[in-house]
């Protein structure tokens, strides 16, 4: 189904003769193999950038920072203005949703996020959706401001904006653990010991995610990404019920209402499960982490599905010829399907800014792949 939708959209834009105005990133998400792959980097607005640290230092509370449209839009634009990525991802955080579901999140320096956790047997209270969306309005404003700021300069004009959310399972882990975790013992126990309650919590999270993504689409984002950062840590027996099916509900609901908005999914570290994930969830694009064998993914999923990512964030820290060799390997491997350059996970704070600038010009100079024009 999805691929028919994608193709008909593609034909539609050709018929409307507006293809020229559409950037590489959106062309690729709609199935075109462009001469140079589009480039963006997960967490591209972040601590590796001095410009980001300067703005960040003006706001103590991270959630308030995310909810400040002026500052959030400024840092969203920074990497585009400095390095010229092909897409901007709105500056926000996956934990905002939990914050707005009355599980206040605070970020403790060097410890990560801490939030009011949900204990075994406790229900997640159904929010008043109007209030929930009103509280998330600053994200909508940040998106609109980002559009205005990007369009002010010829160099950044029309740069697509990506909206995002965490996936239900990843949000569930933060809710039940009350923060980050390695093995997610409480979240896993919750699934086994309180199955009926788990189902209700996943339903609420799924609704909250759909509402939040809709808010971002209405504000003007051009694509959306679902981060399932801990997809690889759910017991395999629960993958279908708590990863594939809720994610499919999200992609299907949004595609029905907004067929022109492509969807990227990151089912991180899910291993061979990525094949089933793609088959069931049907994203336009699957983001592949650096722990997953890209050759396996490339030969196992349909050619219509765009692949994004796979470079180890620490390879970007290393830079130089080592990084160029990895990029060559990827770009020589994925020649017969659309590919979006990105990392396998978020850029790490120690990454030299120069490595980012260098790899972007290296890719753009290579001029690989097929062109339909």
Residue 341 found at the interface with ligand CP3 (CB under 6 A): no
Binding of ligand CP3 by 180 (CB under 6 A): yes
State the Cα torsion 95-97-101-107 to the nearest 10°. 20
9 versus 184: smaller Cβ distance to ligand CP3: 184
Among 35, 56, 117, 337, binds ligand CP3 (CB under 6 A): 56
Rounded to whole angstroms, how far apart are CA atoms 85 and 308?
14
User: Judged by CB under 6 A, which stretch of 88-96, 234-242, 309-317, 353-361 contacts ligand CP3?
Assistant: 88-96
The secondary element (H helix, E strand) that includes residue 20 is: none
CA 108, CA 91: separation in Å to the nearest integer?
19
* Residue number closest to ligand CP3, CB atom: 229
User: Applying CB under 6 A, does 359 fall inside the site for ligand CP3?
Assistant: no
Contact between 288 and ligand CP3 per CB under 6 A: no
* Subset of residues 138 to 167 that bind ligand CP3, contact rule: CB under 6 A: 164
Q: Which helix (H) or strand (E) holds 72?
A: helix 69-83
Question: Which residues, including other chains, have CB under 8 Å from residue 258's CB and lie 6 or more apart?
Answer: 214, 217
Here the tokens at position 368 are 């690989």
Q: Rule CB under 6 A: choose which of 62, 238, 258, 296 binds ligand CP3.
A: 62
**Would you count residue 59 as binding ligand CP3 (CB under 6 A)?**
no
Considering only CA atoms, which of 29, 105, 16, 25 is closest in space to residue 259? 29
Q: For residues 204-263, which are near ligand CP3 according to CB under 6 A?
A: 227, 229
* Shortest distance (Å) from residue 266 CB to ligand CP3: 7
List Cα–Cα distances, 194 to 4, 204, 230, in angstroms: 39, 16, 20
**Interacting residues toward ligand CP3 by CB under 6 A:** 42-47, 56, 62, 89, 91-95, 107, 112-113, 164, 180, 227, 229, 345-346
């Amino acid at each position: 189904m999805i691929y028919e939708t994608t193709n008909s959209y593609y034909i539609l834009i050709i018929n409307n003769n507006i293809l020229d105005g559409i950037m590489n990133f959106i062309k690729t998400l709609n199935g075109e193999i462009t001469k140079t792959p589009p480039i963006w980097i997960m967490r591209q607005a972040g601590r590796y950038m001095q410009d980001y640290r300067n703005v960040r230092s003006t706001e103590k509370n991270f959630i308030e920072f995310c909810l400040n449209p002026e500052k959030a839009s400024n840092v969203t634009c920074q990497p585009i203005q400095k390095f010229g990525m092909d897409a901007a991802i709105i500056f926000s955080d996956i934990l905002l949703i939990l914050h707005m579901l009355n599980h206040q999140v605070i970020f403790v320096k060097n410890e990560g996020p801490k939030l009011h956790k949900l204990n075994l047997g406790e229900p997640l209270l159904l929010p008043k959706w109007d209030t929930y969306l009103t509280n998330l309005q600053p994200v909508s404003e940040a998106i609109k401001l980002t559009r205005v700021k990007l369009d002010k300069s010829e160099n950044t004009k029309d740069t697509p904006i990506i909206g995002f959310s965490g996936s239900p399972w990843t949000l569930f882990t933060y809710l039940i653990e009350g923060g980050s975790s390695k093995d997610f013992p409480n979240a896993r126990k919750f699934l086994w010991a309180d199955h009926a309650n788990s189902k209700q919590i996943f339903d609420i999270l799924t609704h909250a995610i759909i509402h939040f993504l809709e808010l971002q689409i209405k504000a003007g984002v051009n694509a959306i990404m679902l981060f399932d950062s801990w997809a690889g840590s759910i017991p395999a027996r629960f993958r279908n019920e708590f990863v594939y099916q809720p994610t499919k509900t999200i992609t299907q609901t949004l595609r029905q209402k907004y067929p022109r908005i492509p969807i990227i999914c990151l089912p991180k570290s899910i291993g061979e499960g990525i094949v089933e994930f793609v088959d069931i969830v049907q994203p336009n694009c699957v983001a592949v982490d650096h722990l997953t064998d890209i050759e396996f993914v490339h030969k196992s999923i349909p050619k219509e599905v765009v692949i994004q990512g796979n470079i180890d964030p620490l390879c970007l820290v290393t830079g130089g010829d080592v990084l160029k060799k990895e990029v060559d390997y990827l770009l020589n491997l994925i020649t017969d399907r659309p590919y979006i350059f990105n990392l396998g996970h978020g850029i790490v704070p120690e990454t030299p800014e120069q490595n980012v600038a260098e790899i972007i010009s290296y890719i753009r100079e290579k001029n690989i792949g097929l062109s339909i024009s």
